[in-house]
Amino acid sequence: MAYCVGLTGGIGSGKSAASGMFEALGAAVVDTDEISRALTAPGGAAIAEIRERFGPESIAADGGLDRERMRLLVFRDAASRARLEGILHPLIRSRTRDAIAATRGPYVIVVVPLLFETGACMEFIQRALVVDCEEEEQVRRIMARSGLAAAEARRIMATQLPRAERLRRADDVLPNDGNIEALRSQVEQLHARYLALARKA
């Protein structure tokens, strides 16, 4: 299997921006959020079981997951979150393995927002890269992106691993507090490091 770097970070930290930069440099990118969205789209492989476990009200009019309803439910109820993860994570892990096997890049960035929380894709990962920013910046970005109140943004953040623990588990840290050129420069340095590590693997 290809050399894989697990890219993670708290909500609003800038994972998509960072993974896009790695991809522009030639790395292959497998995004587990995209896989999850496909599984829960109309006709997706997870829809039937979600309907069975959570009821028809969990499915939107188009036949896909009612994302807003489910987001509110799982961020407020740990048991519901665990039930949803029990449906999705085995499917995500299988699809991720297949996607990694199909890549052709020199190494693979595997974007896993809950890499440490779930451990779902750790079996594929040689290094863990954490995209990091100050918590106040996270809140600001979540509010700007999703239109949520600060309290709701912090409630979502509280369901994820604390920032200090995420940083402790990281092999590499990519600071992203707003300067896009600084982020790009650090991505370029990490890209060179990962190319070298992949050649040795």
Residue 172, domain extent: 4-200
pLDDT band at 116 (very low <50, low <70, confident <90, very high): very high
Name the nearest CA neighbour of 33 among 2, 57, 76, 67.
67
Angle at alpha carbon of residue 34, lines to 113 and 108, rounded to 5°: 70
Rounded Cα–Cα distance for residues 66 and 57 (Å): 8
- Would you state the pLDDT for residue 101? 95
The number of folded domains in the chain is: 1
- Would you state the pLDDT for residue 148? 86
Grouping H, G, I as helix, E, B as strand and the rest as coil, residue 167 is helix
Segment 163-189 mean pLDDT: 94
Segment 33-57 mean pLDDT: 96
pLDDT band at 155 (very low <50, low <70, confident <90, very high): confident
Q: Which residue did the predictor score with more confidence, 115 or 178?
A: 115
The answer to which of 35-39, 111-115, 177-181 has the lowest mean pLDDT is 177-181
Structure tokens at 80: 């519901």
Rounded Cα–Cα distance for residues 72 and 34 (Å): 20
- CATH number, residue 129: 3.40.50.300
The gap from C-alpha 20 to its chain's centroid, in whole angstroms, comes to 13
